[in-house]
Amino acid sequence: MPSPPKSPSIGIRYISDAVKSDHRLLERLHASLVSPTPNKTLESQRALCSRLAWELARHLVAMELFIFPGTAQRAKQGNQAAQERQRDMAQLREALRSFSAAAAAAAGGQGDGQVKTALGELGGHLGRHIRDVERVDLVNIEKVLSGQESEDMARDFERSVFFIPHGVREEEDDDVKVKAPYKSVEGLLDAGAGELRAAVEKFPRE
């Protein structure tokens, strides 16, 4: 059975490592889009937009499956911290949807003005997400997990890479080709938790 494709997250052991590796990748992709680069082509810009959208959608799905599986229920029960986290995640999702729609419109020849605006808004929400998760959530979750549990969760978390269609990631292993279950970022974001868990169970393991 094939192993998950190689990713920038070399040396990951615990779930906090996996999440932080995602965060650093997302920061680099966002910075690449907002930083002026003389040799940046329209094609490379569009590829970066697609990569950022898919990577962030995959990250949000993985966070909800593995880090915040009970957040929605706790929010309904009145837990203030869960309500705040649920609100923050919803805002980041909506910012991602806006960015993805703007990027698709730009690819269709409607200009990139909306992309810049959506990218700026997305960056603000992403920065807050990264700060809060790393300062609070990862610290708390590592306190309640054993070393082995954290390692197992990290491996499952990293398998979410298979939600990204082949060809989006530059560093893919050509020997590992798993058909992504969703054809669009919106389709991945719209999928229910049960459906996503069933998809993850079909992904290759190490």
Per-residue pLDDT tens over the stretch 20-41:
999 999 999 999 999 877 777 8
**109-140 CB burial, b ≥16 within 10 A, e <16:** eeebebbeebbebbbebbeebbeebeeebbee
Domains in the chain, number: 1
Residue 3: what residue type?
A: S
* Interval 53-66 mean pLDDT: 96
CATH of the domain at 92: 1.20.120
| pLDDT at res. 98 | 96
Instruction: Return the minimum-mean-pLDDT range out of 74-83, 160-169, 183-192, 195-204.
Output: 74-83
- pLDDT of 5 reads 37
| Domain of residue 94, residue span | 15-202
pLDDT category of residue 9 using cuts at 50, 70 and 90: very low
Where residue 174 falls among pLDDT bands split at 50, 70, 90? low
29: in domain: yes
Task: Give the integer Cα–Cα distance in Å for 42 and 20.
Answer: 30
Mean pLDDT of the chain: 85
Does 2 map to a domain? Answer: no
Q: What is the pLDDT of residues 85-122, one digit of tens each?
A: 788 899 999 999 999 999 998 877 666 778 999 999 99
DSSP per-residue codes, 42-70: HHHHHHHHHHHHHHHHHHHHHIIIII-TT
Using left for φ > 0, alpha for ψ between -120 and 50, and beta otherwise, residue 3 falls in: beta
**59 falls within a domain:** yes
| pLDDT value at 178 more than 90 | no
Q: Is the pLDDT of residue 148 over 70?
A: yes
Length of the chain: 206
User: For position 42, what pLDDT does the model report?
Assistant: 81
Question: Two tokens at 23?
Answer: 């965060």
In a domain, residue 5? The reply is no
57 sits in the region (left: phi over 0; alpha: psi -120 to 50; else beta) called alpha
Q: Which of 103-112, 141-150, 167-176, 189-198 has the highest mean pLDDT?
A: 189-198
Report whether 140 contacts 148 (CB < 8 A).
Answer: no
